[in-house]
Amino acid sequence: MTENTTANVRVALVTGGTGGIGHVVVERLVADGFAVAVHYSGNKDRAEAMVADLVSRGGQAIAIGGDVGDEDEMTAAFDAVESAFGGIDVVVNTAGIMILTPIVELDLDDLDRMHRTNIRGAFVVSKLAARRLRPGGAIINFSTSVTRTQLPTYGPYVASKAAVEGITLILARELRGRDITVNAVAPGPTASPLFFNGKDEAAVARFAKATPLERLGQPEDISETVAFLAGPARWVNGQVIYTNGGLA
């Protein structure tokens, strides 16, 4: 763990920071000069190893745990970031789970579990960020391009991410006068553990061919959009950015 020693360093909290996309987002923000809090839910060892590596390379980072759906735990997480770095400028909410199943076969316990992380978690994190970000800040939530493609078996997941888009677009309007942007990134098929889970090689190949660029996205492609929204994109607000290689 390291603490911020420069008053003008921008500070980011990345939920789900140990995940495939979250990890690369953390790396990109540190490279851009941010002090970063790497949030984890269950993988404390991975988060601490990431932080140790970042600090060894001259970055500023801490690891913080918590269930994104638990307001008390996330309040403590925000407190820890502010204590370490003096404030928070950017929150990137990559934490999420995806369970694929036809709607008619849906286990409602799975629905509740996914919605606790994806919907309740988005409300909790966005609410706390809206209260505590400094002027000039950015809230960046994560949706999915499947909200537009309507693929079978994605119904429960898309329902949760459509809710995230609604939260994002309305919160952007509610924060009028605060100088805080609120946007969502909607990745297309991206080579991450979340995407590969449950897919065979043929399915992966079909997704790779689905975009005009004829490849899967890489986590680095997504982190480029996050870095833009976290930094120079002060006139992009209340938007869903489809980072998907042209997926129709």
List, for residues 188-203, the tens digit of each pLDDT value.
888 877 677 767 788 7
Among 116-125, 129-138, 212-221, whose mean pLDDT is lowest? Answer: 212-221
Helices (H), the chain: 20-31, 44-56, 71-85, 108-115, 121-132, 146-149, 155-174, 193-196, 201-209, 219-230
Q: Which amino acid is at 103?
A: I
What pLDDT score does 233 carry?
95
Q: Is 157 a catalytic residue?
A: yes
Of 37, 15, 1, 3, the residue nearest 141 (C-alpha): 15
What's the confidence (pLDDT) of residue 248? 74
pTM: 0.93
Structural domains in the chain, sorted by start: 11-243 (3.40.50.720)
| C-alpha angle 55-58-64 in degrees, rounded to nearest 5 | 30
Q: Which of 40, 154, 157, 242 is catalytic?
A: 157
Please indicate whether residue 25 or residue 212 has the higher confidence score (pLDDT): 25
Of the candidates 191, 189, 196, 168, the one whose C-alpha atom is nearest the C-alpha of residue 180 is 168
